[in-house]
A and B are shown apart, each in its own frame.
Chain A
Amino acid sequence: MRSLAVAGALLMALAGCGGAGVLPAVNVSQAGFGEHATGTVRLWVRAGMAGAYQYLTQRFNATHSDVHVELTVIPDTQYVTKFATAVRGRDVPDVVGIDDINSTLLAFHDSLTNMTPLLRQLPFRQQLSPGHLNLATIGKRSFAIPVAADVSVLFYNKEIFQKAGLSGPPKTTAQILSDARTITHKVHGVYGYSIAGDNPGILGFTGLPIVWASKTHLFSGALNDQHVNVGHNTALRALLTLYRTMWVQHLMPISDRTDSGATWGADFRAGTVGMWPGNWASLAGKIPSNLQGKIGAVAFPGVGGGRSEFDGGDNISIPRGAHNPSGAWEFIKFALAKQQQANLPASGFTPVRSDVYTAQFRKRFPLDAVALANLKSGYAEKTLAYNLAINQTSSPFTTMITDAVFGGGVASAVGGAQSGFERALQEAED
């Protein structure tokens, strides 16, 4: 019995060693930090953004002989868990690319280095995407820096618009509906609009900008003391009503109901859909020859006009306790340099620097240029509850949108969603 008690005490002591859960801060102010670093820099990224980092890593390693970046790709759904486990094990990578919606959570839990002094060193800091940076900023301290964007915009098929007699892309949600109706009725074998109806992540990615363009948000207030604005959110109701109407009136393909993301965008690339809320990553290198030059893009319109887009993608940071932070910062600076940023769209991702937007860039990547040009109107909900409330299959957002669009209707779905969002928020803030 006594030995069991000793064993228990030992376990508790061991647990106590990691109990603080906070690794030592990185000294970013030491002389020569981020210059002429040596050794290996361990970089962890999520699979969804691997293309951007493969490009950045290859270029960095090709131009740096003393320091080498070792890239580790982790499945998106496991990323936070793996990183948290690394923090618990006190053996973290030197640099992490983080889904920007998760950067709030990781910053809030003191896992990342305060990058504010390093950010101040960047002459182009004012040109960095404000939406991305906002997600990694708590108070006046920034714990990560935007590195590569994955932005949602509304793509449209110009040829189909022309056949339907439509002059240009929609400027309001009402116009999205009327355009979708016109396309479906006038162009044989073509649907007006298409969504991935069984993927909450994509539904949030492509639907919420319509809410933001209407000047409202789902979450407000300081982190850990936030409020939910769902039950009486008229813009959210307008979005759900738009989707439901398009579904009920068969303006969207029937396969949208079960599209879990595996076939997302395939119908648009096949030329059977007039408007598609999507991202550049789904089109880069995949546009068939018969559609070349026939695709246009705009940021999402709101109920009464306005424009917005989802600021998805990655922020990059140095975890607390990193072994080679100097090498990590050297890599981050390289990744943010204009030359690397200007080439990001070739791997499917959008630069995070607005000063990359030039005539040459517009000519080379006309579709991605729309996302870059609208970075200032981009947004993403800044909350600890994004995954819980929106991204998961079991989230209240999923239940709400499924009921509203494919089920009983908008009124009942939104009415019950407020409490679900509040519960998710409470869970996240506990």
Chain B
Amino acid sequence: MSATATVSRPAGQESSRLKVVRRHPRGRIPTHRPITGLTLVAPAVLFAVAFVLVPLVFAIYISLTDWPLIGKYHFVGFQNYAQIGDDQTFWHATVYTLTYTAIVTVPILLIGYAMAVFVRENKRGATFFRTIFFLPYVIGLSTLSFLALLELQPGSGAINAVLHGLHITDGQTAWLVNTVPGTAAICVLVVWAASGLTMMLIMAGMQGIPSDVYESAELDGAGWWDRELRITVPMLRRTIAMSLILSIIGSFLAFNQFYILTQGGPGTSTTTVVMWIYERAFVQLHLGSATALSIVLIVVVALVSAAQFRLLRVKDDK
């Protein structure tokens, strides 16, 4: 039960509720029948069971078979999991995905934060810039990837034309056919596309910080940097953590931009984990093996999220 609810109640009601809680260590409130709570949560629980739990159990079962996309299947126990260790492409994809995550996460946060600082106050033009900054996220990564595919073409793409006009390149750079320039192009695209969401989250958090905190700090002689580093950032810790979690999970699950722009190539050098899972399932037609990889990915993402939440909670406790 939230502290806010407790504080908003009249003093008399609060004290009686505390007594009730003491008499019922499990926290049941006798003013409502238990069936009421169960009824209220039942739809959500049913949806979770039908669309999360059952598919998950079924996916685990598939991962224990040699389930092909076409044809007969057999139960193979943990063979698919055991083979993951020998799957060199999967490990390469894992390292590549982690590298990509490491490259894009910090710029997304810093640029998102900077943009939030720029537009957090309701000054003239703030709405315009908020819209401009958030627009790439609204357009969506897939659409942006297709646009980038056209604009990165050597000879005809706008990006090459601009670089050629600035005498930086000869305008014939084949950005998407080699590993490093392809990855660089995707990272720039993703940072541009995803920073808008981080900006919105952080801006909302900034606007929730009471102005009297800043006023007190100013009276104490705190400068702009002091206020940012000692007030804004600490008070936005939850928001920043949430932005980081969303950004990191999004990067772990990267697929569209790579599928559209590099198709994982050359070879498998820009293949992400999810792309490799897709390839195992729908190109190599090994659904059992692909599902085992998916289960591993689910566990890893869950662990990373849990770790981040735990770190946040530890800090809160302190």
Contacts and interface: CB of A to CB of B under 8 A. Distances in A.
Contacts of A394: 263-265, 267-268, 271, 279
Interface string A392-430: 111000110010001000000000000000000001101
A19 B73 contact: yes
A255 B267 contact: no
Interface stretch (B132-140, B171-179, B298-306): B171-179
Given A255-B154, A398-B267, A427-B284, A81 B176 contact: no
Interface in A84-130: 84-85, 87, 105-106, 109-111
Contacts of A19: 72-73
B223 interface: no
Interface string B65-86: 1101111110000000000000
A11 B61 contact: yes
Given A106-B70, A110-B71, A258 B283 contact: no
A242 interface: no
Interface residues of B, number: 34
Interface string B28-71: 00000000000000000000000000100110011001101111
B69 A84 contact: yes
A16 to B, nearest CB: 10
A257 interface: yes
B27 interface: no
* Residue from the set B54, B68, B153, B265 with the largest chain A CB neighbour count within 10 Å: B265
Given A198-B177, A254-B154, A257-B177, A393 B57 contact: no
B236 interface: no
Interface string B257-290: 0000011111110010000000100111110000
Contact of A109 (B58, B68, B172): B68
B284 to A, nearest CB: 5
B155 interface: yes
A394 B172 CA distance: 24
Given A255-B155, A257-B177, A387-B283, A398 B266 contact: yes
B267 A84 contact: no
Contacts of A428: 284
B57 A81 contact: no
A7 B58 CA distance: 10
B71 A430 contact: no
Contacts of A15: 58, 61-62, 65
A261 B70 CA distance: 29
A259 to B, nearest CB: 9
Interface in A201-256: 254-255
A257 B177 CA distance: 8
A254 B61 contact: no
B72 A22 contact: yes
Contact of A258 (B58, B62, B68, B154): B154
B236 to A, nearest CB: 41
Contacts of A17: none
* Residue from the set B62, B71, B286 with the largest chain A CB neighbour count within 10 Å: B71
Nearest to A387: B283
Contacts of B73: 19, 21
* Residue from the set B57, B154, B176, B285 with the largest chain A CB neighbour count within 10 Å: B285
A73 B263 CA distance: 23
A20 interface: yes
A12 interface: yes
A105 B71 CA distance: 10
Interface string A53-86: 0000000000000000000000000001100110
A373 interface: no
A388 B61 contact: no
Contacts of A392: 279, 283
B286 A430 contact: yes
A69 to B, nearest CB: 25
Interface in A173-219: 198
A217 B61 CA distance: 40
Contacts of B177: 198, 257-258, 402, 406
A387 B58 CA distance: 28
A8 interface: yes
B265 A84 contact: no
B61 to A, nearest CB: 6
Closest 9 CB pairs of A and B: A393-B263, A109-B71, A393-B265, A109-B70, A84-B69, A399-B267, A258-B174, A84-B70, A394-B268
17 contacts: A8-B57, A12-B61, A15-B65, A21-B73, A80-B285, A84-B69, A105-B70, A109-B71, A110-B71, A255-B155, A387-B283, A388-B284, A392-B279, A394-B264, A398-B266, A398-B267, A427-B286
Interface of A: 7-8, 11-12, 15, 19-22, 80-81, 84-85, 87, 105-106, 109-111, 198, 254-255, 257-258, 387-388, 392-394, 398-399, 402, 406, 427-428, 430
Given A19-B73, A254-B172, A388-B284, 17 more contacts: A7-B57, A15-B65, A22-B71, A80-B285, A105-B70, A106-B70, A254-B154, A255-B154, A255-B155, A258-B176, A387-B283, A388-B283, A394-B263, A394-B267, A399-B267, A402-B266, A406-B177
